[in-house]
Structure 1
Amino acid sequence: MAQLPDILTDWFARKGWSLHPHQLDMLDRGTDPATLLVAPTGGGKTLAGFLPTLVELIEQPRDGLHTLYISPLKALAADLRRNLTGPITEMGLPIRVEDRSGDTSQTRKKAQRADPPHILLTTPESLALLLSYEDAPRMFAGLERVVVDELHALAESKRGDQLMLCLARLETLRPGLRRVGLSATVEDPPALARFFTSAPCPVLAADPGPEPDIRMLKTRNAPPWSGGGGAYAMDDVLDEVRRHKTTLIFHNTRAQAEIFFHNLWLANDEGLPIGIHHGSLAREQRQKVEAAMVAGELRAIVCTGTLDLGLDWGDVDLVIQVGAPKNVKRLVQRIGRANHRYNAPSKALLVPANRWEVIECQAAIEAVHDHDLDGDPRGPGPRDVLCQHILITACSGPFDADALFDEVRASGAYATLSREEFDACLDFTATGGYALRAYDRWQRLKQRPDGLWQLRDPRATQLIRMNIGTIQDTDTLKVRMRQNRRPLGEVEEGFAASLTPGDTFLIGGKIVRFESLKEMYVDVSHDKGRKPKIAVFAGSKFATSTQLSARILKLIHRDDLSALPGHTAEWITLQRAVSHLPQAGRILVESFPHDGRAQTAIYGFAGRGAMQTLGLLLTRRMEDAGLGPLGFVATDYATLIWGLKPVEDPAFLFDRNGLIEGLEGWLGENALMKRSFKAVANIAGLTPRNFPGTKASGRQATFSSDILYDTLRRYDPDHLLLDITREEAMRGLIDFGRIEEMLERTEGRVDHVIADRVTPFAAPLFLEAGRVPVEGAGREALMQAEAERLMAEAGLS
């Protein structure tokens, strides 16, 4: 505390607070060029990041922007402004703190550029927008420090890549700028530091604190064999809510959160105050719930990833995760919401949605206790984000390509970018590429006689600024009450198009009746029904991580299964007796008849996206082999295929070259590629979503990008955006990398079990939703056989 000015020391003393060792360490390193602090949730990371700033501004008062704080959530910035303003006001410090996001008024934004506060709290998108203005050099001229909060969350998406490009730009404008990264516990802190900066960056690790109290919830009823949602445990969850002050009930998808909240409310006979919070709800709805949480007025909040990150939500003393967490890091982050205090153990209960998830939840609990966090290595910086960055740079004024290339390479993710790749991005932003350079609308940059690049038409800055960012809006429509036009949230456009007047659905935990679609709004009214449709909410369907899959495979092979509930241990034991248990170094394939069809179950444990893709590829190979596949269904762990003929020797199905060849053919004709291209084209600036005075509807934007995709495939198959799209699809939508990992891990070793009936592990697959039909010779043969049967019955030959 001796390092602090007296005014801060006295204030801490009045509060009865003392600084933690890692907070004092951050003060010691206040003048270092870069520092990364890794600390558990509730460990005071944010205060540690700001202490050097407060000390400097107290000891050396000044005007202008001193510290820029960047967080992934607008709510984090707003919450931090409140938390900083209180102590600053109490101490009478002449320090201005303001936040800036999409919710900030235009008047306030303009004033911030002209007269910036000492501390500005913002988001990656708002920083990119600030850097697009001609006056950015003046605004950032005195900037001393950038604090990036929740760095681990940003590093997992293109938002982080864009932020790193912006930080490289800031360092060009303000040489010597100091960087501070704040992160929750991660699996590879040095790798995160390399992502954060190409300069040397020491990592400070806080004391992780006591082990969390984490276990599976003991329930009256056994979990179902398949599906999700956790409805079977509703009464048990409600019992836990009664026993605790405030409980956060996390779900992996927004739709599941809505269903659970609705059922929880129906079971809540005592009228306990509970709320719901997810990204599809209206901002007013979310803020109302947040305010009630802070005030301690709610006993439970059903939520999704919107509450994963570091706001301090008051007296939360229990976290319940409904459904397997799929990712150990995500589970640790969510556990930390409970007892959000330093050196206080967090308490969490896991509620598996089905029998497979019982095993996954136990594997996740053990991984948390072993501090075995999951994470895949980051690839190179995405080039569609680089294209957008070039346009942002051009908005702020003419630029030199050589200097910009060097600046971009100083950003960690782009350190290996070649000049050829950079020039391809520059050419695309300037001309649209070979097939599009004849069209004036894509002629955006030109090179001046002095070699500098600039916008062809300065008026283009407005359009570019309106489309800054990498977050892809799903095609959604606002939902509002017809009577008073009060906003409730949003639903996907495709779901809204399926509604007819009188249909009911859930939003914000309320059942509403669809009345009409007016002016791009879904008008609804209250409904007292109890069986609504469920809105198709956007949001990730997480895949089980590679590390968790490996732990599941080890867990089922234990001689002692006492860590698992009896019903699940018996299921595993029966599978061992009837068939084989899947192994990490082999692929288990089961063949058996059921319902008049030849069934093939493949256990690959590669995650939902990869197992879904595997189903598409294997049915294609089976079609070529004349086996007549009719359809398939996939989970995180296995793929079940049914068809006319059994697979006699499945080894040929897993030939890597054959799978890749099938993938190439499938990708070229598949709608997933168009979906991926649309996102890439939006980010790279080829197909803007927002225009001055209007916004393209989802259908308009899709129609436009689909035409461009087909045109480029035909006339310019080597176009930069098609190349990026293929990379994106391989890595994200179809997760082919996980299939390759599975093939490398098993090296062609296949265990083939031929059974006379459904096996224990295969049984739940027959209950899964999301069956995918296969159009081919098998279906045609069935139709022909049915036609012949009907004709014979009618007496016709």
Structure 2
Amino acid sequence: MPGLPPQIAGWFAARGWDIHPHQAEMLARAGDPATLLIAPTGGGKTMAGFLPTLAELGTDPAPGLHTLYVSPLKALAADIKRNLRAPVEEMGLKIRIEDRTGDTTQTQKKRQRADPPHILLTTPESLVLLTSYEDAPRMFAGLKRVVVDEIHALAESKRGDQLLLALARLQHLCPGLRRVGLSATVEDPAAMARLLARHPDPCAIIQADPGPDPDITMLQTAELPPWSGGGAAYAIPAVLAQIKQHRTTLIFHNTRAQAEIFFHNLWLANDDSLPISIHHGSLDRVQRERVEAAMTAGQLRAVVCTGSLDLGIDWGDVDLVIQVGAPKNVKRLVQRIGRANHRYNAPSKALLVPANRFEVVECVAALEAVRDHALDGDPRGPGPLDVLCQQILILACAGPFDADQLYKEVRSAGPYAALPRADFDDCLEFCATGGYALKAYDKWRRLMQRPDGLWQLRDPRSAQRIRMNIGTIQDSDLLKVRMSGRGGKPLGEVEEAFAASLTAGDTFLIGGQIVRYEGLREMTVVVSRDAARKPKIATFSGTKFATSTQLSARILALFAADDWPQLPRHTADWLALQRQVSRLPQQGRLLIESFPHEGRAHLCVYGFAGRNAQQTLGLLLTKRMEEMGLAPMGFVATDYATLIWGLDPLDDPAPLFDRAALRDGLDHWLAGNAVMKRTFRASATIAGLIERNIPAAQRKTGRQATFSSDILYDTLQKYDPTHLMLRITRTEAMRGLVDFGRIEEMLDRVGHRIDHIRLDRVTPLAAPLLLEIGRVPVAGQAEERLMAEEAARLMAASGLAGLTQG
């Protein structure tokens, strides 16, 4: 085996193994400045990433840090440590391998900085923290390679932006540093390579044999999917039957609340007492680790989970993956499918379970995309400025810096390659003074420029508080949940707003068990066990996925077919009836239906823009309808449509979709809206304007922190409307919670091609929206008219009708 030392080659030979071609190519390209490896799950990506390191370190490695491995998950870093140590010990290599995450003890962390291992496995947040110390140049002095695993998962979030800024800092400290990215799911390899490499250095792309296509189908069930809802309770018997037929099954859900509901129903139906469990990010760490250990040992037949088990951890003998609910994103589905039969050239086996009738269509579209090897993904925007502000503060913690050199360093990070100097200077000024409206407050005057031109912390003691707030992951205001009694067992976390809605005796699900709310003590939700069968459901935090643009386009393409042999009969008949009584939505056209229902005028807009955008569209359209005197009463939105109801029918919907009017309405709506304040708080926390972690003596509740951020937001709006944080907030809101870009994409797609169909009753495609929960009421003219009509009716019934006149 060329390129491998005898000890490593002998280890492979003793097992009768040959290294894969992509592993050999990784060895051959070990000296390249940057390399992106795309290989299927189970294809030995991690070993490919580490083989050059093992070969370079050899049997007598020099002391010091040689290779840094960065993972999105703490659990993945721990798993890699376990799986890498075994072959290293068997090869007789004297290589120290350690991990460093939030779970590492302070004693170990201190020792690692003084005497780093040869290979350190960590997360983006822990790496960034290491770069903030004055001794970072000494710790990283001998660093040769950085391996970023599951790079696709990091590249899609601010964690990736922060990581790439940290790599730019490491490259400054170690000019010869080589970068490696590993992934199984990259929709645009060239774009990912540009992101990984130091700008403008090249990046080699190695694509392994993708192996056999996955064995993926839709689960056949005796009961039909319901018209709406996300629980998929109808499929419990069929899912249980699949669990019995397989060794270990992972059952993925898109939200934590849905996972809790499904696990509860599955447990009630588990008459054979099969060992099943649940795993998601709101559960207590000890409970998650217990589940992970049981999976690794092969002691569980099934685990109901969320994205917490998406990534490349080798969990025991998983031979089936079930995705409950439409996957929303093909790339995420492929990643989850890869958890089954985690071996090279072994097809993964997966089943899709649509939660409702429309999701049947989405699941079929997703299946076709997987078979076509068509991954989805939106192009990345420029690097966010709130992350850059945090990076400037982090660098100041490590010691004085030169602004010109730092600007050059930041521009070497892919997301910031086109960063204008004016934006960089605005971020620097914000870190130094807080900006025009806040510069009078010492709290936000954190940097100062020395006579020699270098920048440094104004007060060195502030470094501790900056380090306490490193990170881009935004948690909701979460409260710990613990069983009552002395030493009560911790169960996990729920959102503070949910806890505030509870009264003594209320029940809810957490960790698969029903608990009874006893009270709130010292910011902890105290509960006891309860035997109830129908609990309240905790509103867990977590991403509410929106259907990707590419998947939406596939659904519209599927609608255009003459018939649908690939769909179940009940769904094909449903779509055929829709085509008969109205029409199906089309790519390049906007279908709008209007019809009466229960005495109200209804308007259904099939935008296929994703849930956030359709929600925003509902807000903007009802505002426009108010201005036009149409008295809207409320709306509900899904990924594919917005349904609005009110007192008066709409004759011509075209004026509602005037782009300038919609944007103007958005600007006015955003100015004082809670969405903006929520977005402001998140960005201000990342940028360092608001501290999420402070010394214990100064802690405040999440509600108090929200109040403080609202005051800051209102102050800046009034006195400094061009403040950097307000600019960042608008950019983030438009891209995230509001997703106005998807609305503009929809308007570009349809132009003036609007099909308005007037009907005398609800249509098949609109009917499920009438059953959706989460309706948004509109307070305005409709409410006033109904109140006046009700008052007149009551007066007439009382013989006092004359009093309502004049």
Q: Which residue of 2 aligns with 1:266?
A: 268
* Letter matched to residue 396 of structure 1: A
8 A contact 1:655–1:748 mirrored in 2: no
CA distance in 1, matches of 2:111, 2:75: 21
CA distance in 1, matches of 2:72, 2:414: 19
Give the Å deviation of 1:546. 0.4
Q: Which residue of 1 aligns with 2:570?
A: 567
* Letter matched to residue 464 of structure 2: Q
8 A contact 2:563–2:572 mirrored in 1: no
Superposition map of 1:75-86 within 5 A? 75-86=75-86
8 A contact 2:60–2:94 mirrored in 1: no
8 A contact 1:34–1:201 mirrored in 2: yes
Determine helix, strand or coil for the equivalent of 1:435. Answer: coil
CA distance in 2, matches of 1:754, 1:185: 44
Give yes or no for the alignment of 1:795 onto 2:799: yes
Give the Å deviation of 1:85. 1.3
8 A contact 2:681–2:706 mirrored in 1: yes
* Letter matched to residue 64 of structure 2: G
Q: Which residue of 1 aligns with 2:480?
A: 478
Determine helix, strand or coil for the equivalent of 2:295. Answer: helix
CA distance in 1, matches of 2:477, 2:16: 51
Give yes or no for the alignment of 1:343 onto 2:354: no
Give yes or no for the alignment of 1:216 onto 2:218: yes
Could you tell me which of 600, 614, 617 is aligned with 1:611?
Answer: 614
Sequence identity of aligned pairs in percent?
73
Give yes or no for the alignment of 1:767 onto 2:768: no
CA distance in 2, matches of 1:696, 1:148: 36
Q: Which residue of 1 aligns with 2:749?
A: 745
Give yes or no for the alignment of 1:490 onto 2:493: yes
* Letter matched to residue 280 of structure 2: H
8 A contact 2:589–2:753 mirrored in 1: yes
8 A contact 1:247–1:299 mirrored in 2: yes
Superposition map of 1:700-739 within 5 A? 700-739=704-743
CA distance in 1, matches of 2:749, 2:559: 18
CA distance in 1, matches of 2:185, 2:459: 47
* Letter matched to residue 734 of structure 1: V
* Letter matched to residue 39 of structure 1: A
Give the Å deviation of 1:697. 2.2
Q: Which residue of 2 aligns with 1:650?
A: 653
8 A contact 2:59–2:92 mirrored in 1: no
Give yes or no for the alignment of 1:757 onto 2:761: yes
8 A contact 2:321–2:350 mirrored in 1: yes
Give yes or no for the alignment of 1:779 onto 2:783: yes
Superposition map of 1:412-431 within 5 A? 412-431=414-433
8 A contact 2:59–2:94 mirrored in 1: no
Give the Å deviation of 1:43. 1.3
Q: Which residue of 2 aligns with 1:400?
A: 402
CA distance in 2, matches of 1:582, 1:359: 13
Q: Which residue of 2 aligns with 1:682?
A: 685
Q: Which residue of 1 aligns with 2:297?
A: 295
Give the Å deviation of 1:187. 0.9
CA distance in 1, matches of 2:325, 2:782: 36
CA distance in 2, matches of 1:39, 1:736: 35
Q: Which residue of 1 aligns with 2:125?
A: 125
8 A contact 2:131–2:166 mirrored in 1: yes
CA distance in 2, matches of 1:298, 1:613: 43
8 A contact 2:479–2:495 mirrored in 1: yes
Q: Which residue of 2 aligns with 1:546?
A: 549
CA distance in 2, matches of 1:707, 1:126: 32
CA distance in 1, matches of 2:714, 2:61: 59
CA distance in 2, matches of 1:338, 1:94: 34
* Letter matched to residue 73 of structure 1: L
Q: Which residue of 2 aligns with 1:189?
A: 189
Determine helix, strand or coil for the equivalent of 1:430. Answer: helix
8 A contact 1:462–1:692 mirrored in 2: no
Give TM-score scaled by structure 2 length: 0.98
Give yes or no for the alignment of 1:25 onto 2:25: yes
* Letter matched to residue 791 of structure 1: M
Give yes or no for the alignment of 1:57 onto 2:57: yes
Give TM-score scaled by structure 1 length: 0.99
Superposition map of 1:1-400 within 5 A? 1-58=1-58, 61-197=61-197, 198=199, 199-400=201-402
8 A contact 1:588–1:752 mirrored in 2: yes
Determine helix, strand or coil for the equivalent of 1:17. Answer: coil
Give the Å deviation of 1:14. 2.6
Q: Which residue of 2 aligns with 1:583?
A: 586
* Letter matched to residue 219 of structure 1: T
Superposition map of 1:600-639 within 5 A? 600-639=603-642
8 A contact 1:281–1:507 mirrored in 2: yes
Could you tell me which runs of 5 or more consecutive residues in structure 2 were left unpaired when the two chains were aligned.
Answer: none
8 A contact 1:76–1:311 mirrored in 2: yes
8 A contact 1:689–1:696 mirrored in 2: no
CA distance in 2, matches of 1:618, 1:432: 37
8 A contact 1:627–1:643 mirrored in 2: yes
Q: Which residue of 2 aligns with 1:409?
A: 411
Give the Å deviation of 1:86. 1.4
8 A contact 1:690–1:696 mirrored in 2: no
CA distance in 2, matches of 1:17, 1:792: 90
Could you tell me which of 514, 525, 530 is aligned with 2:528?
Answer: 525
Give the Å deviation of 1:692. 2.2
Give the Å deviation of 1:59. 5.8
Determine helix, strand or coil for the equivalent of 2:319. Answer: strand
